[in-house]
Structure formats: C-alpha cells, structure tokens
C-alpha cells in the first residue's frame, strides 16, 4: 500500500523485503531519499511504542502557539466553556481578521490528531468572514488548553478486533443566529479512533428528531466510504457495523420499514 501526497510517500506492507525492492525500483526512475521507518509525515510526529503508534503534532502546535504569542499562556482544563453559544453580533470586530483566519486555519490542521478540539474549532471557523472580539476570546481559550496538552495525540494500537463501531449525536437549534443544529460523530475500528467530525447542519431542523436523523445520515455516509476503503485494502469485516445514538425516536424511525416504503 502506497500513500502519496505531492512528493511525500508512505509505503507499508507486512513484508519488509518487498518494501525495499519497491523503493529500489522506484529509485531507478525517480530521485528518492529513503528515510526509513516513519517518524514524521506532513507535520505529524509518529512515535513507536511497543505494539502501538502515537500520532501527535507537538512541534507544529508549539509553532502555532509561538505565532500567537501564547507559548507561555496559563493552561485551561477544556477548549471551550460548557454551554457557550457564539453569535455573529454583540461584540466589536477584531483589528486583524487575517491573523484570526491564520490561527484558526492552523487549529483546523491540528484536529487531525486532536479530535477533542474538533467541536470548538468548528465553532470559531464559522466566523472567518467577520471575526469579533468574542470569537477571538474563544480561540485564545483553545490555545490555552492546547498549551497544557502539547504532547497529547492519537494512539493506534495493534488489535485482532475488526469491528466498526460509530457514535453520533446532534444538538438541536444551538446557533442563536440561524437556529441550525450541530452534528457530531466518531468512528472506531476495533479500539482505534479513525474518523470524527463536528459540523453545522446545512438545513434548519424543525424538531430534535429531525436534527438527530440528519446526524445519523451523516455518519452512515461516512461509514459507507470507510467500508469501501477497507474493501480496497482487502480488510474483511466479520460483523455488521454498529451505530449508537441516544434518541429513541430515531431508533424507532430508522427500524420502521413502513415509513421507508
């Protein structure tokens, strides 16, 4: 399996001899530099710990904190205050919208290995066009949280489990400006978290059931893509995927075949 991003390449296989042979063949046509076992790829640091990999972006994060002049900021226990609702009104504009977009864009890239900030980063991303002081305060709160957790990241563990398990949820009409809901989901492959998302829904839901149903539809679309990818990688799934949601109306709606006639 070969992963190519511009001029960065990852090659993996269960047989190391085949990998060496492939690198030699490619090197006959292209100028390559074999960096050996992966430890850094596209800003992601890879640490090999026994039977697992630890993915982090600590160096990239420290550069972002230095750019925002918050490398010595006092850490916070969470990236956002519970129950906070951001609005496009009610505060003064910030002096440098370009700087706001630069920092928030960097935070977006950090969500690759930091799924716990996906919700709060999605919120501040919604005001890129016209950021206010209240939005910048939330960005600084995220940076303060990250300053105390620079070494956090994702663990990818070796496991015999090939079960796909998904969790989804939705917060109904949380946006005070347009009353749209926010969907969120995460996907586990065995014990490993492999996909997650927090995103404002594209249409206005007129009930919590409708908002939850949209969230369920989003995770099913993601699940179908993951199953297609696993088929290409020739990874068999021993069991049907399991999707968990906390809305009884959605469970009854999804299992009632008469409603889908």
- Residue spans of the domains in the chain: they are 1-36, 56-147, 160-260
Please determine, for residue 190, whether its predicted confidence score (pLDDT) is greater than 70.
Answer: yes
Q: Who's near 131: CB < 8 A, 6+ residues apart?
A: 93, 94, 97, 100, 101
pLDDT mean over 67-82: 94
Please determine, for residue 259, whether its predicted confidence score (pLDDT) is greater than 90.
Answer: no
Tell the CATH superfamily of the 160-260 domain: Ribonuclease H-like superfamily/Ribonuclease H (3.30.420.10)
pLDDT mean over 26-43: 90
Q: How confident is the model at residue 155 (pLDDT cuts 50, 70, 90)?
A: very high
Which pLDDT value is given to residue 200?
Answer: 95
Provide φ and ψ at 214, rounded to 5°.
Answer: -65, -40
- Within 10 Å of residue 203's Cβ, how many Cβ atoms? 10
pLDDT mean over 196-214: 94
CA-based nearest residue to 219, from 188, 180, 259, 173: 188
Beta-ladder partners of 93: 132
pTM for the whole structure: 0.90
Which pLDDT value is given to residue 14?
Answer: 84
What are the start-end ranges of the E strands in 57-127?
none
Which pLDDT value is given to residue 79?
Answer: 96
Q: Is 42 left (phi over 0), alpha (psi -120 to 50) or beta?
A: left
**pLDDT over 90 for what percent of the chain?**
80
The burial of 88, by beta-carbon neighbours within 10 Å (0-12 exposed, 13-18 middle, 19 or more buried), is given as middle
CA-based nearest residue to 209, from 174, 249, 245, 181: 249
pLDDT mean over 95-115: 96
Which pLDDT value is given to residue 261?
Answer: 65
Task: Report the mean per-residue pLDDT for the chain.
Answer: 93
Please determine, for residue 85, whether its predicted confidence score (pLDDT) is greater than 90.
Answer: yes
Q: How confident is the model at residue 16 (pLDDT cuts 50, 70, 90)?
A: confident
Q: Who's near 228: CB < 8 A, 6+ residues apart?
A: none
Which pLDDT value is given to residue 118?
Answer: 96
Pairing of the two strands 182-189 and 192-200 = antiparallel
């Amino acid at each position: 399996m070969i992963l190519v991003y511009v001029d960065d390449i990852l090659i993996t296989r269960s047989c190391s001899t085949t990998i060496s042979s492939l690198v030699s063949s490619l090197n006959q046509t292209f100028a390559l530099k074999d960096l050996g076992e992966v430890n850094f790829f596209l800003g992601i640091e890879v640490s090999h710990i026994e039977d697992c990999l630890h993915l982090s972006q600590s160096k990239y994060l420290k550069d972002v904190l230095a750019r925002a002049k918050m490398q010595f900021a006092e850490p916070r226990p969470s990236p956002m205050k519970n129950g906070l609702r951001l609005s496009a009104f009610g505060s003064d504009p910030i002096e440098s919208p370009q700087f706001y977009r630069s920092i928030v864009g960097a935070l977006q890239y950090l969500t690759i290995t930091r799924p716990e900030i996906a919700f709060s980063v999605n919120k501040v991303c919604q005001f890129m066009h016209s950021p206010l002081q209240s939005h910048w305060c939330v960005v600084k709160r995220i940076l303060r949280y990250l300053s105390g957790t620079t070494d956090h990241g994702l663990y990818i563990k070796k496991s015999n489990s090939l079960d796909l398990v998904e969790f989804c949820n939705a917060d109904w009409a949380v946006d005070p400006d347009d009353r749209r809901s926010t969907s969120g989901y995460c996907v586990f492959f065995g014990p490993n978290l492999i996909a997650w998302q927090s995103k404002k829904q594209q249409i206005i839901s007129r009930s919590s059931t409708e908002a939850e149903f949209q969230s369920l539809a989003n995770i099913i679309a993601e699940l179908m893509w993951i199953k297609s990818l696993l088929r290409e990688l020739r990874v068999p799934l021993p069991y049907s995927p399991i999707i968990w949601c906390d809305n009884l109306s959605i469970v009854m709606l999804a299992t009632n075949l008469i409603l889908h006639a």
